[in-house]
Amino acid sequence: MAFKSFKKAETGPDVRTPTTVIVSVGVYRLTRNPMYFSLAILYLGITCWVNSIWCLLLLFPVLIVVNEGVIKREEKYLEKKFGDEYLKYKSTVRRWI
């Protein structure tokens, strides 16, 4: 659904290319990071399936790294590029859920 929202907005999800628009429709109305959220849920599901406490314990440090090292950097970039438009979006939509 996240990729579909990006395609509809005529921008790409690739973090290596410049963002051209703030995507705030579809699943992006509910969370600013649906792709990271879905990967975390997938990881948690696989962890339960393989019944591994170690994988479960690793989830928390990985989420901290993603939150601090990736998401916050992306947010700074978007704030700089889109200014008040992004700040308004950020104030109305949660980072995770």
Q: In this predicted structure, what is the pLDDT of residue 33?
A: 93
> Hey, what long-range contacts does 76-83 have (CB within 8 A, 24 or more apart)?
77/19, 78/19, 78/22, 81/19, 82/22
For 40-97, what is each residue's pLDDT tens digit?
999 999 999 999 999 999 999 999 999 999 999 999 999 999 999 999 999 999 998 8
- CA atoms of 90 and 55, how far apart (whole Å): 31
pTM, entire model: 0.82
Of the two residues 11 and 86, the one the predictor is more confident about is: 86
- CA atoms of 18 and 7, how far apart (whole Å): 15
Q: In this predicted structure, what is the pLDDT of residue 97?
A: 83
Helix (H) or strand (E) segment spanning residue 6: helix 2-8
